[in-house]
A and B are shown apart, each in its own frame.
Chain A
């Protein structure tokens, strides 16, 4: 079945540091890929998405590129802020009308001033 693997956490960075969070997936066909963010005490918010190979999703300075050849969707940001501290989840949704999301375990990011 479908699965998503995220790098182990937590991750602690200083403000303005470069961020990379790795995500790889296993799925048949061409799934859509997502990054969701969960701030403390809140539900999930969509951060960015990509629906086909080589697509780049971007939002709020975060970027991720859909790499079919390496089945990856790594999240990057050039300069993190304290307000980026949250839990980040990589997820996939199969192609077609099926919209079930399969999530990774999530990784906690803490950014210190």
Chain B
């Protein structure tokens, strides 16, 4: 049973460029969330996708956008990159049904991928 996978593992971009990060959720999961983890900080929630729509959004500018595909995989896009966008970007997946009905521990838990480390020069 594959866990959450992310690609690429590392990426180097320059200011002003655009980047796309990819995430495949754990098998059986339908909800994907993205987090930004700056060096030495805790992860910050960017947004969450369910049924191919953005359901919640954190305090991030419109330069950050996303997409969810019918197979539940997701992309995070960041436009007009700034130096401050350098961070580890984490994807997490879960089942929305499990959260609503208070299902088994495995259904409620969010599982994180290994992350994509983005460096903006």
Contacts and interface: CB of A to CB of B under 8 A. Distances in A.
Nearest to A105: B42
Contacts of B94: 99
A32 B109 CA distance: 11
Q: In which size bucket is the chain B interface?
A: 20 to 34
B41 A99 contact: no
B17 interface: no
Interface string B10-44: 00000000000000000000010101000011111
Contacts of A69: none
Contacts of A31: none
Interface hub of B42, B44, B58, B94 (most chain A Cβ within 10 A): B42
A23 to B, nearest CB: 11
B110 A46 contact: yes
Contacts, number: 57
Contacts of B2: none
Interface string B39-52: 01111110010000
A100 B58 contact: yes
Contacts of A28: none
Interface stretch (A12-20, A37-45, A75-83): A37-45
Given A97-B99, A99-B48, A43 B41 contact: no
B72 interface: no
Contacts of A43: 4, 90, 112-115
Interface of B is mostly: mixed
Interface of A: 4, 32, 36, 42-46, 49, 51, 89, 91, 97-106
30 contacts: A32-B108, A43-B4, A43-B90, A43-B115, A44-B43, A44-B92, A44-B112, A45-B112, A46-B109, A46-B110, A49-B109, A89-B42, A89-B43, A97-B99, A98-B56, A99-B48, A99-B96, A99-B99, A100-B33, A100-B56, A100-B58, A101-B33, A101-B92, A101-B110, A102-B45, A103-B43, A103-B44, A105-B40, A105-B41, A106-B42
